[in-house]
Amino acid sequence: MAAAVVEIPLSQLLEEARAYEKRVPLEGTLETTYRCNLNCVHCYVNQPAASAGERARELPLERLKQLIDEIAEEGCLDLLLTGGEVLLRPDFAELYLHAVRAGLRVTVFTNGTLVTERILDLFETYHPACVEITLYGMTEETYERVTRVPGSYRRCLEGVRRLHARGIPLKLKTMVLTWNVHEVEAMRRFAEELGVDFRHDSLLNPRVDCGANRNGELQVPAELAVALDLADPAARASHEERHRTLAAEPPPEADEVYTCGAGQFAFTVDPYGRLQLCQLSRRASFDLRQETFTRGWREFLPLARSRKWKTDAVCRRCSLAPVCGSCPGAAELEHGDPEALVARFCEITHLRAHTLLGEASGHRRDATCCRGVGHLASLPDAERHLGGCGSCGHAPAEAPLLQIGRRPSRAVTA
């Protein structure tokens, strides 16, 4: 009699294979374009859809397909295709099929407004791991105030419903802004009615290319951000478990700045072929137009993430660092320095920890334990950073805040 095949979780398989320790690039993000058919006020990249200059800078299809082969050969399992608006590229279908046929689990981030019958047929025949669509509001007025494109609300909802009707794996999400926060619960209910997952993100980051954008009026206050984080019972339970674990076993003081998966089991490639640690940490890059992914992964990224702490920054020894949005990438994007602290993220993290655990968190509610000063509200004009865009070092007169399309992170377990 043949022995039964024992099924184990993927996480256990990866641990037994020592995939994290061996630096296997398990998760990749491929930004195919920064062009978009919407013009969202908060977006971190939204170049004009018809920009000939942008099209000329983007990696051509043949190099993208070759790059996917190189990524798969190195052991990648999950590939995110995103933008800009990924469906703007007329060669998207061919690129997507190539990734699927290379054995990758492909996730697609889209705004949902360009879902055609051709795309529906493609996804129905070759299912993605998931299609994630961002909602910017649950009313036409709010949605199109954010996107600044008439008719985009109707097209987005049509895209969502058509994908759902075809049985395509689907998730919904939103970027929480002061302009749409009053409709977050309506978005959540809409997702529940469809029977799909919903998540939100309240942390706004600077634009990656120094493009003009609105200022901090879009960032919701810390109290509201935390209230949203803890409103869902399942999300609250998850936060409580993580915070209790940290309170019981605080992480040791770090020697290296990067302790996440960036460059360890994850990577990002921008539309111009630049290999980077992640979607936030972009100052260091490796040119994949001229070089192979293998060399970039094996030689460049280990050096990029090996930076040792040069200062005695408070984040280095903070026990809340694993649950804080003020990571090295966010700090680099905000201040041009991965060892800096993003004040509003620090305040949100402290308030959330104190709300969940009180004094047992080991931190003060107002973040004065780490920052020396604290005020749990949107920062006044005088305290907005003037460090400029972390990606290029320019220094705009006013610091914009905007969106990064994050995927939920996976902790490193060596």
Residues 6+ apart with CB under 8 A from 133: 110, 111, 112, 156, 159, 160, 163, 170, 171, 172, 173
Per-residue tens of pLDDT for the chain, all 414 residues? 566 667 778 778 778 778 888 899 999 999 999 999 999 998 878 788 999 999 999 999 999 999 999 999 999 999 999 999 999 999 999 999 999 999 999 999 999 999 999 999 999 999 999 999 999 999 999 999 999 999 999 999 999 999 999 999 999 999 999 999 999 999 999 999 999 999 999 998 877 765 544 457 899 999 999 999 999 888 899 999 999 999 899 888 889 999 999 999 999 999 999 999 999 998 999 999 999 999 999 999 999 999 999 998 899 999 999 999 999 999 998 889 999 999 999 999 999 999 999 999 999 999 999 988 765 534 443 333 323 333 333 433 333 344 444 455 454 443
Q: What is the CA 36 to chain-centroid distance, rounded?
A: 17
- Report yes or no: 19 and 410 within 8 Å, Cβ to Cβ: no
The answer as to whether 399 is a domain residue is: no
- H or E stretch covering 81: strand 78-82
Reply yes or no: is the peptide bond before residue 84 cis, omega within 30 of 0: yes
The answer as to whether 146 is a domain residue is: no
pLDDT score of 375: 56
**What does the alpha-carbon distance between residue 281 and residue 301 come to, in Å, rounded to a whole number?**
12
**What does the alpha-carbon distance between residue 56 and residue 71 come to, in Å, rounded to a whole number?**
23
Residue that is written with structure tokens 């308030």 in the block: 351
**What does the alpha-carbon distance between residue 134 and residue 354 come to, in Å, rounded to a whole number?**
30
Our count of domains for the chain comes to: 1
The answer as to whether 330 is a domain residue is: yes
The answer as to whether 213 is a domain residue is: no
Amino acid (1-letter code) at residue 279: Q
Please provide the size of the chain in residues: 414
**What does the alpha-carbon distance between residue 364 and residue 351 come to, in Å, rounded to a whole number?**
8
**What does the alpha-carbon distance between residue 259 and residue 245 come to, in Å, rounded to a whole number?**
17
pLDDT score of 406: 47
**What does the alpha-carbon distance between residue 110 and residue 80 come to, in Å, rounded to a whole number?**
11
- Report yes or no: 43 and 50 within 8 Å, Cβ to Cβ: no
pLDDT score of 403: 44
The answer as to whether 365 is a domain residue is: yes
- H or E stretch covering 132: strand 130-135
Query: Which token pair is 373?
Result: 């000063």
The answer as to whether 295 is a domain residue is: no
pLDDT score of 11: 77
**What does the alpha-carbon distance between residue 60 and residue 110 come to, in Å, rounded to a whole number?**
20
Residues 6+ apart with CB under 8 A from 115: 87, 158, 159, 162, 163
DSSP state letter for 135: E
DSSP state letter for 409: P
**What does the alpha-carbon distance between residue 126 and residue 96 come to, in Å, rounded to a whole number?**
9
The predicted model scores a pTM of 0.87
Q: Give strand pairing partners of 134.
A: 173
CA 200-335-277 angle, 5° bins: 65
- H or E stretch covering 48: strand 47-48
**What does the alpha-carbon distance between residue 394 and residue 229 come to, in Å, rounded to a whole number?**
33
Strands 130-135 and 197-201 come out as unpaired
Q: By residue range, what is the domain housing residue 239?
A: 222-257+310-377
The answer as to whether 392 is a domain residue is: no
Q: What is the CA 86 to chain-centroid distance, rounded?
A: 15
The answer as to whether 246 is a domain residue is: yes
CA 29-267-402 angle, 5° bins: 65
**What does the alpha-carbon distance between residue 275 and residue 283 come to, in Å, rounded to a whole number?**
10
